[in-house]
Structure 1
């Protein structure tokens, strides 16, 4: 991973989760170098491999492989497709946060109240976005489940009280979280599909 440009610094307070993923990715890269077995008397003989021929290079990456290049501007709460959430929670309060990359707003129905957050993270290219996506999947707090129809790749995890969906397309990664506020409330059974629809619609609306 050396030689690639580092992603632009994220917002220090809001993007803590992505910053943690960045640190995890960098630590993984550092670990790829391995240790020095020569200092370990029990490591056995060291096998020295011949150098690769000069013609051996990394696989070529085309713009099509990396997907579209997104540019974030304006209000994310207005540009995102929140219709799947509004269908069951039709009343939206004034957003607690609304910038080009973050939308945090509570939605409610006559019987339930939820907190909803959409975090859009940009990367230099699709390769960086996919590496961070893969790291997020490995670091999921519970068993991740892949889901189709939400960008190039997407997964969700959680339970009847709180769920999170991560989706990647091009140089953009979306992290969508929804959580019930009242102890007696539960999320609908089709919440993962609804979050996937939010991601798919948001990618479409933000498309360059």
Structure 2
């Protein structure tokens, strides 16, 4: 299927993100991406958590985009600011064909982080150094928004804004899941020392990744 792509860019649509912009805006976005050789644009998660992440490095601005050189120097600056790795390449994105092909054809990570039934291993962390440098862009206005995920920013999702009706919010669903997990963990904590629980969680995460890689 990849050889049949005859465009400059690939739009990776995630179904629980809804368009919020006039369709003509995308013409302007794509023109700016082409003229500035942008490799990757994150079209959703347009909130302070995303925008503030890149404020500590130099940007180049157009009428429609803020553009960043994501080399290892700038990546380390952001990692130092937040004291942890962060995701540079997102599934909610418009990517150059060259970068998209590289992500799809590269069997990375070797030990899968997520089930093959999900798109999440498409996303790359700042520690996945083989994909950088790239030119990254963030739109100056909202293009898409998540239906039910606040993405760590209260009030961000369309449900939180009252723009999308749902019988049960993501928060309520996550709260139920959290309570169930906490209940199970509390039982273990009563009978197993904490340092052993930490080791069990680590081993579980490795086994989970092995399952995703060789069994699923």
Query: Could you tell me the TM-score, scaled by structure 1's length?
Result: 0.26
Q: Greater share of helix residues, 1 or 2?
A: 2
- Work out which structure has the larger RCO, using CA pairs closer than 8 Å and 6 or more positions apart in sequence: 2
Rg larger for: 1
Q: Greater share of strand residues, 1 or 2?
A: 1
